[in-house]
Amino acid sequence: MSATLQIPFETLHTFGRLNVHLTHELQNVMATISETSGLLEDLSAFKASGGGVDPARLEKLLRRIGEEAERGQRLVSRINSLAHSTDAPVIRLDLGRVVRFMAELSSCFPKARTVGLEICDGCVAVDAAPYTVQQLLYGCLQTSFRGLEPDQGVALSLRVEGDTCVIHLSGLAKSTQADRDEPFPDRATTLAAEALAATLDLDRNAGTLTVRLQRVTGEVV
Amino acid sequence: MSTLKILLVDDEEKFVSALAQRLNLRGFEAEWAVSGAEAMAKASRTMFDLAILDVKMPRLGGVDLKRELGRITPSTRFIFFTGHGSEDEFKVCSAEASCYLVKPMPIDELVANIYRVMGLSPKGD
């Protein structure tokens, strides 16, 4: 091979994991639609053979199919947005939009917990590759979910301090075995932080994870 | 042949409830649960002939749940299903159960596998 593409494997790995989570969720949607429509067929055949079927039950199942189709549409939209995040190497972007997107996406992560969002008013502009910011946030969110019970959640805020954007996660577990097995930041998150010149501060005692990166002034295209 | 008692476990409630109703319409006694904890509670009250478990669930995955269920109902047989079908999952599931299905699966295929895993024919011979 005359040329070698120097893309760190971990970068691709994050993209792959995100797609795995989203398509897993989409597969669940398809399975639900498939079984619900199958049940409608079964009930239709049951009625044709003289059995009684409550119309309200049929209406509920039809409504369920509609709801799942909407859920599937939202997932397809997210997969599409994720795919487009690699369109440009560096652009001026609104960090608030990326943070909101990743918080939404995180509901598909394994062992996901709820994320309470608080994003400051106005556009928080940064010059960065959208995908690299997503990669950074993915690592941070995954780490913040570690060790939490299913009914627990984290708070995620975005604010501006001078020329710095501060992404702050709180409500993290005080300590977790997963941190010892896989210390934070992992290689993919480290690569993303280096590319963005971002600093990461995980404080398990305080239950917080703080990310700081350079803000720019100017309009987002 | 007595009616087969089946426990379906999947964190997708709408999916698992529809599937349970479809199996009930085919003459099985199917119950469903959306978590490992709920499944364990049901298994402590009812002796299930077969448990059909989703591999990936938030707190207690299908493989671990199978081991927990096996402790309280040693005679229960198992089928795994998942939304994927990756090679890694296939290896793990093949080692843990004799049947591994990728969802959504045609209901006739699922029913055929239920009889196969139970060592029965659909006519009850």
User: Residue B58 maps to which CATH number?
Assistant: 3.40.50.2300
What pLDDT is attached to residue A1?
Answer: 44
Phi, then psi, of A88 in degrees rounded to 5: -125, 145
Chain B contact probe: residue of A35, A39, A67 with most B CBs at under 10 A: A35
Vertex A216 angle, CA A212 and A221, to 5°: 120
Domain ranges for chain A, please list them: 10-84, 91-214
Distance from CA of B121 to the nearest CA of A (A): 22
pLDDT digits (tens, 9 = 90+) for B43-69: 999 999 999 999 888 777 888 899 999
pLDDT of residue A7: 64
- In chain B, the number of structural domains is 1
Is B125 inside any structural domain? Answer: no
Q: What is the ipTM of this complex?
A: 0.87
Assess A69–B contact: CB distance below 8 Å, yes or no.
Answer: no
**In angstroms, what separates the C-alpha of A52 from chain B's closest C-alpha?**
13
What order do you get walking across the sheet with B77-82 strand by strand? B29-33, B5-9, B50-54, B77-82, B100-102
B107 and A64 in contact by Cβ < 8 A?
no
User: CA-based angle A123:A171:A113, to the nearest 5?
Assistant: 85
**B87 CA to chain A: closest CA distance, Å?**
14
Domain extent at residue B113: 5-118
Is 3.30.565.10 the CATH number for A91-214?
yes
User: Any CB–CB contact under 8 A between A60 and chain B?
Assistant: no
CA dihedral of residues A160, A161, A165, A166 (deg, nearest 10)? -100
Q: Tell me: the pLDDT tens digits for B83-96?
A: 766 666 666 666 66
